[in-house]
Chains A and B, each alone.
Chain A
Amino acid sequence: KAGVTQTPRYLIKTRGQQVTLSCSPISGHRSVSWYQQTPGQGLQFLFEYFSETQRNKGNFPGRFSGRQFSNSRSEMNVSTLELGDSALYLCASSSIPGVAGNIQYFGAGTRLSVL
């Protein structure tokens, strides 16, 4: 069974540009969550999607948005990039959100560098 796939693995952008990251969950998983990891702030929750609906959103500005498609694949978009957006963006998938025994499986991440 294939794991969580994130593309691309690396991205270099300049300030003001926008970027779209993609996440394909494990087959059969319908929940996708996104996290941002930086050396200073650690891992922070961005948002969670289930059945194409955003269930939860973290404390990030509106420049960060996402969506989920009918096949459970998810995309995350960041507009008007800032230097502080440089981070490792991780996607996690799980079968059913909010279940105590539900393990979240993480992808390898997309490393975004903003110059």
Chain B
Amino acid sequence: KQEVTQIPAALSVPEGENLVLNCSFTDSAIYNLQWFRQDPGKGLTSLLLIQSSQREQTSGRLNASLDKSSGRSTLYIAASQPGDSATYLCAALFLYNQGGKLIFGQGTELSVKP
């Protein structure tokens, strides 16, 4: 069964701290892995997408890595800010019937304290 797990479920850090969110997946046949941000009651905002042939992607203070062989991805947030407070979700894309299906982790709820 294809599963995606995120650790920790919740994280509280002081402003300015660097932090790492973890994501693991059981099936290495992923096509890509996306990290999303979700604010309370809102939809998902795509942060970074790593294709299966890539090792990492960077956008501003965010860096995501992918290790297919170990079934892991990490999202690194540098110099965290209160505005980074949200739930972060990773999702692995698997191919079915020429289409795709995203399998999501349960998310990490991040709180950055001023």
Contacts and interface: CB of A to CB of B under 8 A. Distances in A.
Interface residues of A, number: 30
B47 to A, nearest CB: 10
Interface string A38-58: 000011110010100001101
Interface stretch (B19-27, B35-43, B67-75): B35-43
A114 B103 CA distance: 26
Interface string A97-109: 1101111111111
Contacts of A33: 100-102
B63 interface: no
Instruction: Classify chain B: how many residues form its interface, as a range.
Output: 20 to 34
B43 A98 contact: no
Main secondary structure of the interface of B (DSSP, over half): strand
A33 B46 CA distance: 15
B31 A98 contact: yes
A45 B34 CA distance: 15
Nearest to A58: B101
A8 B75 CA distance: 33
A31 interface: yes
Contacts of A97: 98-100
Given A43-B89, A55-B96, A56-B96, A100 B32 contact: yes
B36 A31 contact: no
A100 B52 contact: yes
15 contacts: A4-B43, A33-B101, A33-B102, A45-B101, A48-B100, A88-B41, A100-B32, A100-B53, A101-B51, A102-B32, A104-B46, A104-B102, A105-B46, A109-B42, A111-B41
Interface of B: 31-32, 34, 36, 41-46, 49, 51-53, 89, 91, 93, 95-107
Interface of A: 4, 6, 31, 33, 35, 42-45, 48, 50, 55-56, 58, 88, 90, 92, 97-98, 100-109, 111
Given A55-B97, A104-B46, 9 more contacts: A33-B101, A48-B99, A48-B100, A55-B99, A90-B43, A97-B98, A98-B31, A100-B51, A102-B100
